[in-house]
Copies of this chain bind each other. A is one copy, B any other.
Amino acid sequence: MSSVSDVPEEPVGHGHGHPETTPDTDWRAELRAKGYRLTPQRELILGAIDELGHATPEEVLAHVKTQVSSVNASTVYRTLEVLEDLGLVRHAHLSDRAPTYHSVAGHEHFHLKCRTCGEVVSVDVEVASALTDRLRSDHGFVVDTGHLTVFGQCQACTAT
């Protein structure tokens, strides 16, 4: 199972900031503004998402544990919820099983998943505008494009 991206999935993430109001200091400030606390676990988990690109809670836990072995699974679940509430990460369902989290630092995108080879491709939300526009005008339905996962078969697997 491979994984590719069309969208610049740069792991620029939320770190490596300059002074003042970079995205780096931003999220820490917003976190506190909402009454949350800034803990090492939260920084580590957000960092893991940034580095991993797409990751299940379990994968996040494994990654974080390589740095701090004591971190617990329930903390990962609770933290991912907080980070999603802050708009720092999002999740999509790339398999019938566990959800997959990804950073929102890059461009907003949705996913194509090939059922045959398992490849996951990130696509800019603009590509879906024809559908989302139509659903809004015809049904008054406002689509959460960033959560969208489109299943099907990729070019390589269709050719074969």
A contacts, CB < 8 Å to B: 6, 93, 96, 99, 112, 114-115, 121, 123, 127-128, 130-131, 134-135, 138-144, 147-148, 150-155, 158-159
Contacts and interface: CB of A to CB of B under 8 A. Distances in A.
A140 B158 contact: yes
B151 A144 contact: yes
Contact of A112 (B96, B130, B135, B150): B135
Given A93-B93, A99-B96, A130-B130, A142 B153 contact: yes
Given A96-B93, A96-B99, A135 B141 contact: no
Contact residues of A: prevailing secondary structure:
mixed
Given A127-B135, A131-B128, A143 B148 contact: no
Given A93-B93, A96-B99, A144-B115, A123 B151 contact: no
Contacts of A142: 152-153, 158
